Amino acid sequence: MTNDYAGIEAALIPYFDGFYDGDVVLLKKIFHPSCHLYCATHTPMTDADMETVYGRVGNRTVPAERGDLREDGIISIDQSGPECAYAKVYIALGNQMFTDYLTLVNIDGRWQIITKTFTYVPRPEVEPL
């Protein structure tokens, strides 16, 4: 089996840049339109479609403009075949550190996130927003 780790890493650049820069256009490059985001930290678990997510990103204070220290990266990638992969990533936004579990599909030669489940913990070293 061939692995496309480099392609998956490259595909995730708009993910990290889009959230840090508050750029919905970039986020639309990596998220499949049917994607849903599930927050496992909340009880009950929350579920948001992409239009809701894009609205939140577009209406919040942009971390880059606020001068937040950028912290993000890939923890692991697991690819089961040419069309499906999983990435575990971390990303800090404001005073929260997120761990994101991303399921990616390769459609027409382009990696896209089809589901995202995440958890978060507070970052005590960052002032509350």
List pLDDT tens digits, range 76-114: 999 999 999 999 999 999 889 999 999 999 999 999 999
More confident residue, 48 or 125: 48
126 pLDDT above the threshold of 70: no
**Residues 5-25: tens digit of each pLDDT:** 999 999 999 999 999 999 999
* Beta bridge partner(s), residue 84: 81, 105
Cα separation of 54 and 2, whole Å? 34
End-to-end CA distance of the chain: 46
Per-residue pLDDT band for 123 (boundaries 50, 70, 90) equals confident
In the chain, the domains with their CATH numbers are: 5-122 (3.10.450.50)
Q: Is the dihedral of CA 10, 96, 45, 52 positive or negative?
A: negative
Question: What is d(CA 125, CA 117) in angstroms, rounded to the nearest whole number?
Answer: 25
Does residue 1 register a pLDDT over 90? no
21-40 pLDDT tens trace? 999 999 999 999 999 999 99
Q: Of 88, 91, 93, which is closest to residue 103 (Cα–Cα)?
A: 88
